[in-house]
Amino acid sequence: MKLAQFKTKTSDEARLGLLRGGVIIDVTAVAPDMLTLIKRGAAALRAAADETAKAAYALDAVEFLPAVAPGKILAIGRNYLDHATEGGSEPPAAPLIFMKLPNALAAHNAPIVLPEISQQVDFEAELAVVIGRRAKRVGEAEALDYVFGYTLIDDVSARDLQFSDGQWIRGKGLDTFAPLGPFITTRDEVPDVQALKIEGVLNGEVMQSSNTSYMIFKVAYLIHYISQGITLEPGDVIATGTPEGVGIFRKPPVLLKPGDVFEVRIEGLGTLRNPVVAAEQ
């Protein structure tokens, strides 16, 4: 099933919804938000699936919220061979982990705000993994059992800050730099997470086009590797890396500017769309 957090256009109250028949069914009676639903486990999921359409909304009648409010967002750098080489780097020998900060969260259709402190804001289309239960020192063979579902994330990056700082937290963690959503697709509806087409599309032009099969470190290994020393909690998000085609390494570079629209498209998961605005907007 596909689940989302949203608000109606007549209320600021956050709601939990299930996509069914092209509309969003309100399942807030089952759980008030996505994180609570995840923590309540399989019984809550079954209850959401069985919920009758007491209230239903057209997709264009709601304001999406970030798909989940995670305790932490762990991101993986250079996890596609072609992306590592396009930047002149050797493929990493082990997963390269950094953090996206909670203030960076943004929703589907919400603006990416270009900060005044950066002149090189870039896009990165990525698959995001949402953890379903506490994972500590898990084996690779059972790692996918700890997944609640999958969604889309744009790892927006201020390249000038990222490269000048010598580490990536600030360049990757600015406000609105982690659009996430619109839906979380539950694990059971993704037969093979390593066989999904992934695209990054800028103003209708495909800039990134690849497949999750080209990840250097697969999803199961990432969960296994991270959980050896960092306990993953329900609702935590892993951004699994971006394929080649980012803007900074193009000749000439193609960087985000006000008026742009960037989309992340992943087969079976949907489309995450975000307009780009200047800070004063």
What is the rounded average pLDDT of the residues 91-119? 97
Runs of H (alpha helix) within the chain: 34-40, 42-50, 81-86, 159-165, 169-172, 219-227
pLDDT given for residue 60 in this prediction: 94
Span of 75-79, 83-87, 95-99 with lowest mean pLDDT: 83-87
Domain boundaries, the chain: 2-64, 73-278
**CATH number listed for the domain at residues 73-278:** 3.90.850.10
Model confidence pLDDT, tens digit, residues 131-174: 999 999 999 999 999 999 999 999 999 999 999 999 999 999 99
Cβ–Cβ contacts within 10 Å for residue 85, how many?
A: 14
pLDDT (mean) for 191-216: 98
Q: Taking the model in full, what pTM does it have?
A: 0.97
Q: Evaluate if residue 281 carries a pLDDT over 80.
A: no
Residues 18-74 pLDDT 10s: 999 999 999 999 999 999 999 999 999 999 999 877 799 999 999 999 999 999 999
Q: What integer pLDDT is reported at residue 132 of this predicted model?
A: 98
**Residue closest to 75 by CA, chosen among 178, 183, 149, 211:** 178
- Tell me: pLDDT of 200 over 90: yes
Give, in degrees to the nearest 5, the angle at Cα 159 between 154 and 162: 100
DSSP 212: G
